[in-house]
Amino acid sequence: MTIRRLKIAFAQSILRGKILFHQSIDKLRRNPIRMGVKNWA
């Protein structure tokens, strides 16, 4: 694997992580009570 390919893969994984993070925040905002119960259970 070349350095450039590694950098691209790294950037893609960061982007995917950010998207998942924002999706989970949106879910928390929409339904805080249920998510809170899930987290504490």
C-alpha to C-alpha distance for 4 and 16, rounded to whole angstroms: 18
Residue carrying the six token digits 């691209």 = 8
State the first-to-last Cα distance of the chain, in angstroms, to the nearest integer: 43
Q: How far apart are CA 9 and CA 5, in angstroms?
A: 6
Task: Output the 3-class SS for the chain.
Answer: CCHHHHHHHHHHHHHHHHHHHHHHHHHHHHCHHHHHHHHHC
Give the tens place of pLDDT for each residue, 1-41.
Answer: 699 999 999 999 999 999 999 998 888 788 766 656 666 65
What pLDDT was estimated at residue 25?
Answer: 86
Domain ranges for the chain, please list them: 3-38
pLDDT of residue 34: 66
pLDDT at residue 41, as a whole number: 52
- pTM for the model stands at 0.52
pLDDT of res. 29: 82
